Chain A
Amino acid sequence: MTVLGYLANGLVFSSIIVLGSIGLSLVYSIADFANFAHGDTMTIGAYSALVTFGAVGGLGGAVLGLPYGFFLALIVGIAVAAVVAVGTEKLIYEPLDIDSIGLLITSIGIAFIYRAVIQIRFGADFTRFGVEPLRPIEWLIPYGIRVTRHDVAIVASAAVLVVGLHVLLQYTDLGRKMRAMADNPDLARVSGIRTKRVKLWTWVIGAGLAGAGGVFLGLFNQLSPRMGFNLLLVIFAAVILGGIGSVYGAMAGGFLIGMINQLTPLLSRLGEVLPLVPDGFGIPIGIEYANAIAFVIMVAVLLVRPNGIAGEGAT
């Protein structure tokens, strides 16, 4: 594969990471704790979509190789993830009287409960959506890019969701309230913002985006009960790289981490790829360490620039 091919793959994977990291960052800044159940919220979205798609089928036509029924399933996946997250907030997190560390530990318990329920219902094995796998797009193959129309659909849908979120945050009342609350919850409260309601909306948006990310992850790879938890640390890396609490930072961080993750194979043959570097030079790191690289970057960012590349207050 050529560099362009890896970049294209990186773009697809980045879209998924971005969807996950926005939600995590929103919840981190507004509910004020590191939500370890975020990855499993993605899994919930993916499996809800799997069930829905199995029930409704294709529904006639198709866009970008994906039947209409899949888009319905995507919406159901988003909705179920959001409903589950709001229910968890109402039933579990809200009545708790503990600090953010206690909430963090609780969210690990929640993550296990989500995953266990899915595993009891669907088993631990890998599954796939019942969508026909596609061949890579013909006219891109000469450039060394092997992406399917499904991948294009993933990137396009993610772009639509991200732009929608941008509009919501910048131009609507709710968005302004959310930004105010992320900035200073007490001040937001005394200025008459109903912070509890805003918090619920944050969960809806964050978990909804996570659900969408989960569905796309299932389409990009496979579905398994561990898919979300396995991705969780990569998403944390993205959020920390972008700066916790900054939605745009999370987008940038997600993009970078997703790219780095997919570009790992290039590290071992840097010489061929980069100019000025002698041929045959490379960092001998295999693809199996792609996630490890993300974690090391995360720790390095925490040390050098704890506020992330975007800095704080850029919500």
Chain B
Amino acid sequence: MSFLTDPRGTLGDLTRPEAWVLGVSVAFLLLLFVALLAGALGPTYFLFLVGLAGMYALLSFGLNSQWGFTGLINFSVAAFFGVGAYGAALMTADSSPIAGGFNPLVGLIVGLSVAFVLAVLIGIPTLRLRADYLAIASLGLAEVVRLVVLNERWLTNGSAGLRGIPSFFAGWPVLSTFPQAMPGLRLEVVPGSPIFLEAPFWRASLNVLLVLGFAGATYFVLRRAHRSPWGRVLRTIRSDEDLARALGKNTYSFKMQSFVLGSLIMALAGVFYTHLNLYVGPGDLDPITTFYVWVAVILGGSGSNRGALFGGIVIVTIREGTRFLNDFAVPIDPAPLRLLLIGILIVVVMRYRPQGILPPQRELIWPSAVDGSGTPDRPASGVRERKRSDDLENRSENAENRSDDRDGNGPNGGDDDE
């Protein structure tokens, strides 16, 4: 909001990476906008991409609340995403081998409930493990989930996947017929290449609204949770689990809560994906999905929700951009090219900027404490107050030291408990 009242000041306050990211994003948006107007990029496809970016952002939020907040290395993102997607698809699709034909809201609830149960089941054995064991174990259990989805044909339709999934708003009063009810529009910005806005376009814009709703709600819940006492305990666990335990916290229980919360968000992304893509198959549970999300999070900055948003957009650019590259410039199959780019991105980030591009700042203090003049108002006199304000500055320094410390020491602080 401060941007509206004082644009120049806000821009001046940005750190260098922030300004850089902002510049690139604006340039990218302009490019997309020009492509849209020129008719090179179909508006419906563009909205699909926006939906996909929102979905990756949602997945990254989920991972962020596990890895970024608590330091849990969860390599089973794809499993929770897939469970959410399959839960919703099995309840709503025509081709569903078990139920099918329910209202998408039922699918949402079922997807989330199954993900909840799965998160508890995976969490019970793995959350007591050391960080690197947790990584291996969660990847293994995610593979088990994928194998079950692939092979239990009576339940999931096997490798054929599920088709005939309705849109999320099917069966809602006004919204279910909204795409058909809207008039078809014809815009001609550049002569000779008209843009048509018809039912698919309106359907896609509903999807975008939906993902904006999901992601926005998640963002605010996470931001609030991150700053709450609960979030503080999680950050303590991340930097030093033994310390948290010494302070009397049941770290296992806190880790479980953070794990379940993140998994539910991932499942929510899965539910949205089902209604965006209108097809789910076992390929969606491939480990590569997990690592897409990991790249988004470590690129954006672990623990930073803004970063997760940025990372999500980068991932979609890589995922969909490789197709265009294949068509125009580089005659390389998109699948390995994507893999190569993701791999290079991981290595480059870890080499040159392990804290990510937009690492969380001042995550240990309330923003209201530093808003305005930058430092809290200092009373005119009195040693005691003076000392307190110094304290606050120290704390903000500590906040930065903390995040540095974490990069050096590992989320579990854990060389000691080997």
Number of A-B contacts (CB under 8 A): 135
* Chain B contacts for A66, CB-based, 8 A: none
> Which residues of A (296-313) have their CB < 8 Å from a CB of B?
296, 298-300, 302-303, 306
Q: How far is the CB of A146 from chain B (nearest CB, A)?
A: 25
Q: Chain A residues with Cβ under 8 A from B97's Cβ?
A: none
Cross-chain contact A303 with B125 (CB below 8 angstroms): yes
Interface string of B385-418 (1 = CB under 8 A from A): 0000000000000000000000111110000000
- Interface 9-mer from B27-35, B80-88, B98-106, B338-346: B338-346
For the complex with contacts A99-B410, A102-B407, A124-B336, 6 further pairs of A-B residues with Cβ separation under 8 Å are A99-B407, A102-B350, A109-B346, A113-B339, A117-B340, A289-B151
With both chains docked as a complex, state the minimum distance between the C-beta of A293 and any C-beta of chain B, in angstroms: 9
Contacts of A99 in B (CB 8 A): 407-410
* Chain A residues touching B, majority SS: helix
B215 to chain A, nearest CB (A): 25
**Given A109-B343, A299-B141; A292-B336 close (CB under 8 Å):** no
> A112-B343, A299-B137, A299-B141 known; A34 and B337 CB under 8 Å?
no
**Complex Cα–Cα for A288 and B410 (A):** 37
Pairwise interchain contact B347-A113, C-beta atoms closer than 8 A: yes
Q: Which of B298, B332, B345 contacts A120 (CB 8 A)?
A: B332
User: Do A119 and B147 touch (CB < 8 A)?
Assistant: no
Task: Contacts A109-B343, A299-B125 given; indicate if A104 touches B133 (C-beta within 8 A).
Answer: no
Of all chain B residues, the one with the shortest Cβ separation from A230 is B143
Asked if A172 is at the interface (CB within 8 A of a chain B CB), the reply is no
Which residue of B has the minimal Cβ distance to A117? B340
- Interface residues of chain B, those whose CB is within 8 Å of chain A, are 73, 125-126, 128-133, 135-137, 139-141, 143-144, 147-148, 150-151, 291, 294, 298, 332-333, 335-337, 339-340, 342-347, 350-351, 354, 407-411
Residues from chain B with Cβ under 8 Å of A303 in the complex:
125, 128-129
How far apart are B237's CB and chain A's nearest CB, in angstroms?
A: 15
Q: Is A286 an interface residue (CB 8 A)?
A: yes
A23-47, CB under 8 A of B: which get 1 and which 0? 0000000000110000000000000
C-alpha gap A10/B100 in the complex (Å): 43
A233 touches B136 (CB 8 A): yes
Instruction: Judge whether A289 and B140 touch: CB under 8 Å.
Output: no
- Quick one: which of A124-173 are within 8 Å of B by CB? 124
Interface residue ranges of A212-236 to B (CB < 8 Å): 225, 233, 236
Tell me if B133 and A306 are in contact (CB < 8 A).
Answer: yes
Question: Contacts A102-B407, A240-B133; is A113 near B343 (CB within 8 Å)?
Answer: yes
Q: How far is the CB of B9 from chain A (nearest CB, A)?
A: 36
A264 interface contact, C-beta 8 A: no
A295–B133 touching, CB < 8 Å: no
Given A100-B410, A109-B346, A111-B343, also A120-B144 (CB < 8 A): no
* Residues 255-273 of A at the B interface (beta carbon under 8 Å): none
Task: Give every chain B residue within 8 A of A97 (Cβ-Cβ).
Answer: 354
Cβ–Cβ < 8 Å partners of B131 in chain A: 101
Query: A195 contacts the other chain (Cβ, under 8 Å)?
Result: no
List of A residues within 8 angstroms of B294 by Cβ: 105, 108
B136:A240 contact, CB within 8 angstroms: yes
- Tell me the complex Cα distance, A298–B126, Å: 11
Q: Which of B140, B332, B335, B410 interacts with A236 by CB under 8 Å? A: B140
| CB neighbours of B150 from chain A (8 A) | 288
Distance A109 CA – B133 CA, assembled complex (angstroms): 19
Expressed in whole angstroms, the Cα–Cα distance for A306 and B137 within the complex equals 12
Tell me whether B340 and A113 are in contact (CB under 8 A). Answer: yes
Tally A residues with Cβ within 8 Å of B: 45
In the assembled complex, which residues on chain A have CB atoms less than 8 Å from the CB atom of B139?
233
Contact partner of B136 (CB less than 8 A), chosen from A124, A236, A289, is: A236
Q: Is the CB of A295 within 8 A of B298?
A: no
Contact A109–B140 (Cβ < 8 Å)? no
Question: Which chain B residue shows the least CB distance to A245?
Answer: B418
Per-residue contact bits, chain A 66-107, to B (CB 8 Å; 1 contact, 0 not): 000000000000000000000000001001111111101110
Most buried by B among A34, A108, A124: A108
Any chain B CB within 8 A of the CB of A291?
Answer: yes
Question: Chain B contacts of A106 at CB under 8 A?
Answer: 346-347, 350-351
Let me know if A116 is at the binding interface, CB within 8 A: yes
Asked if residues B342 and A120 are in contact (CB atoms below 8 Å), the reply is: no
In the complex, A92 Cα to B347 Cα: how many Å? 8
A26 to chain B, nearest CB (A): 16
Cα–Cα, bound, A113→B346 (Å): 10
CB distance from B311 to the nearest CB of A (A): 14
**Across-interface contacts of B350 in A (CB, < 8 A):** 96, 98, 102, 105-106, 109
Please give the distance in Å from B352's CB to the nearest CB on chain A: 10
Given contacts A96-B351, A233-B136, A295-B144, contact A113 B344 (CB under 8 A): yes
Measured in the bound complex, the distance between the Cα atoms of B348 and A113 in whole Å is 12
One of A98, A116, A300 near B336 (C-beta < 8 A): A116
> Closest chain A residue to B336 by CB distance?
A119
CA distance A309 to B386 in the complex (A): 60
> Is the CB–CB distance between A295 and B143 below 8 Å?
yes
* B133 engages A302 (CB within 8 Å): yes
Query: Contact at B128–A112, with CB atoms within 8 Å?
Result: no
B336 touches A120 (CB 8 A): yes
Contact of B129 among A95, A119, A237, A302 (CB under 8 A): A302
User: Is A115's beta carbon under 8 Å from chain B?
Assistant: yes
CB-defined A-B contacts under 8 Å, sample of 18: A98-B350, A99-B408, A99-B409, A100-B132, A102-B407, A106-B351, A113-B343, A113-B344, A119-B335, A124-B336, A233-B139, A236-B136, A288-B147, A288-B150, A291-B143, A295-B143, A306-B129, A306-B130
Instruction: Judge whether A181 is part of the interface by a CB distance below 8 angstroms.
Output: no
